[in-house]
A and B are shown apart, each in its own frame.
Chain A
Amino acid sequence: MTRGTRGRRAGLAAGATLALTLTACGGSVGGDTGGGNGGGAADPLSIGLMAPITGPVASEGEAMKMGFDLALKEINADGGVLGQDIEVDFLDDKADPAIAAQSANRLITENQVDYLFGTITGDTSLAVGKVATEAEVPFSTAEMGTAGICTPYVWAFGETDPMILTELVPHMLETKGTRVALVGSDYSFPRGFNGLARELIEGAGGEVVAEEYAPLGTADWQPVIGKLSSAAPDWTLSAVVGGDAVSFVRQADEFGLLATSDITGISLIQDYYPAMGGVTDGRELVTRYSDALPGEANEKFVAAFREAYDWDAPIPGVAANAYEGLKFIAAAVEAAGTTETAAVMDALSTTTTDGIFGETSFTENHRFQTDMQLVRVEAGGKYVPVENLGVVEDPTECR
């Protein structure tokens, strides 16, 4: 499960004539079609990166690629992994599961990569996760969750729903009130996110007074806001994503919903801040990353990121996840001393790093563990950590 599944890319295409060069040698039949990656000790670490840089989630894809590229540059400048530069093959997955699966296959069989990294939308992550598992190649996403894909080969660097909600819900119930409205874009991730929130809210003595979902691409939120307002919630948990998040929050402000009740949730993340026009200032949310996190590693990352990409806005969490993710993978491969899958996977489960988030490691159920932060949004897009919540366990088993 990841956020941001906004349907297939808007792309379509036209017939530009293309010269499809056919390699004369080495067809598919008889060749090694099983994938596999028998990297020896002397091989450089080669990673296949897939990011949707076109289509409806291109902004997330770009952000992830930025974080990844920055880490890559730093690692290689420091002498690479196992004494050699990391090699990266990049493909645009176009947020299309069919293309993503084909691309993953291509990276494994043609480029013989040791590791797959990337994808944003849940359907593409699922597709690549299946391909990676079949080919026995480790695969990491930098997005939230991916809890739905449970195979030994998938190592997700995103934060999961329980990590965000376990501490957020009691905090909000305590400080804002017990009447809660849930709202989200209508697809799997928001529904799962809000479903868990409901469990937690009701378990803690709160009350869900409204729950609404609107299809992706909804521009007019008036009827939804009307229903939420008439339920008179103390606060709203919003899992509305993308451009819709901006439309929803701004219209909620217009109609006075935000004057009478508080708001938190995915809609408040850094990616959407510049377009919010300041209406989310003063609100709180739980995230893992904020560019205002203390620590030398983060300060260095923020400075490098702002300089490399001429970036003024809050740095998106997905960029930080990708940055830290690649650093973590590099550390694990270094520790394994080889790019061989089994050894790398062993190393992934035992490696710990002290990076931009603080201490990080993978749990037995492949959850990327690190401190979670209660963050307050302040004017100008400062996501100020107000409380370090420590490690928030996500004990959920694979579904």
Chain B
Amino acid sequence: MEAVVSFALAVLTLFGFYALLALGMGLIFGQLGVVNVAFGDFVMAGAFVMYGLEAVPFVPRVLIALVLGGALAWAIEKLLLRPLYVQGFLATLLAMWGVGIVLRQTADAVFGSTPASVASPVTGSISVLGVQYPTYRLVATTVSLVVVVAILFVVYRTDFGMRLRATIDNREMASLLGIPPRPMIMATFVFGTVLAVLAGALQAPMLGLTPHLGVAFLAPAFFAVLVGRPGSLAGPLFGAFVVALLSNSLRGLFSETTATLLFYAALIVLIAIRPQGLDWKRPQWTTALLARRPA
């Protein structure tokens, strides 16, 4: 029983973290067709803001991190990505790779590469069905899941969410219906990035922070996005759950390294036999622009 409970808690914790990442990455991917390879580095940036502003109380500090991350995302979308969409996904992928380098090196220049850490606002552990579990983990997981539920609510139950889904589904049609695509693209990128920053800020007290921290989160988050059912915003959530479950089960059964190898092998097989499970949405307006240009 205890084993089951701790396994469930472990899956839930990891799911909370990857759900934020996958949702953010999935939104950006679905709306902009951008594979955001700097996503892990935004997680790192969120964590380092928490470290750098240690004097500020925890909750306001998280909010500051979100605002800073949003502002950065705004600048990146406006100055870097906007002219690159028409060139296809590799151009934006490479651009984001460059952003990742700059983020890592900036963190390195400002904070150095000696591991750093952030004090946890809540210490101790509480008993969950007979299993002692660190309180802060439960808090962080709960916050993550609440945010995820709130996002789902916004996306599926509000007017804004409907516009969002409309633009992701068919930008031209949405545009004809009076939903301006530019602000929606911007909003999606900023919002997706803020989710990464939030994940990093929440995760910070559990981690040894180095500028290279984020690289390890990229592949699982990417897989989570791609494993999910196409065309649905809940897809990445499902993917995050698959990743959390698969990762924890394998790591429970095998040695860490074998688990890592099996994890990637399982994903390869999953993707090879079900390529339809992936959603590589080339933004419709790109196609439209390309087709229109010669006319």
Chain A positions within 8 Å of B, measured between CB atoms, are 6, 10-12, 14, 54, 56-59, 62, 186, 212-215, 217-220, 222-224, 226-227, 242-248, 250-251, 254-256, 271-272, 274-277
Contact = CB atoms under 8 A, between A and B. Distances in A.
A243 B207 contact: yes
Given A243-B115, A275-B116, A56 B210 contact: yes
B99 to A, nearest CB: 12
Interface in B107-164: 108, 112-117, 119-120, 125, 132, 134, 136-137
Give the interface centre of B6, B17, B210, B217 by most chain A CB atoms within 10 Å.
B210
A271 B114 contact: yes
A58 B210 CA distance: 11
B215 interface: yes
B105 to A, nearest CB: 8
Interface in B90-114: 98, 101, 104, 108, 112-114
Contacts of A62: 112-113
Contacts of B259: 223
Interface string B197-214: 000000100111111110
A56 B206 CA distance: 20
Interface of B: 6, 10, 13-14, 17, 98, 101, 104, 108, 112-117, 119-120, 125, 132, 134, 136-137, 203, 206-213, 215-217, 248, 251-252, 255-257, 259-260
A382 to B, nearest CB: 18
A246 B207 contact: yes
Given A58-B113, A186-B257, A212-B255, A223 B213 contact: no
Contact of A59 (B113, B120, B216): B113
A58 B206 contact: no
Contact of B212 (A10, A186, A248, A277): A10
Given A58-B108, A212-B256, A219 B213 contact: yes
Contact of B207 (A59, A247, A255): A247
Q: Which 7 A-B pairs have the closest CB atoms?
A: A246-B208, A243-B210, A243-B208, A217-B216, A223-B251, A275-B117, A254-B134
26 contacts: A10-B101, A10-B104, A10-B212, A10-B215, A11-B101, A12-B101, A54-B108, A215-B256, A219-B207, A219-B213, A219-B217, A222-B13, A222-B14, A223-B248, A223-B259, A224-B251, A224-B256, A242-B115, A245-B208, A246-B208, A250-B207, A250-B208, A256-B125, A271-B114, A271-B115, A272-B208
Nearest to B254: A223
Contacts of A255: 125, 132, 134
Nearest to A240: B208
Nearest to B134: A254
A10 B259 CA distance: 24
Contacts of B98: 14
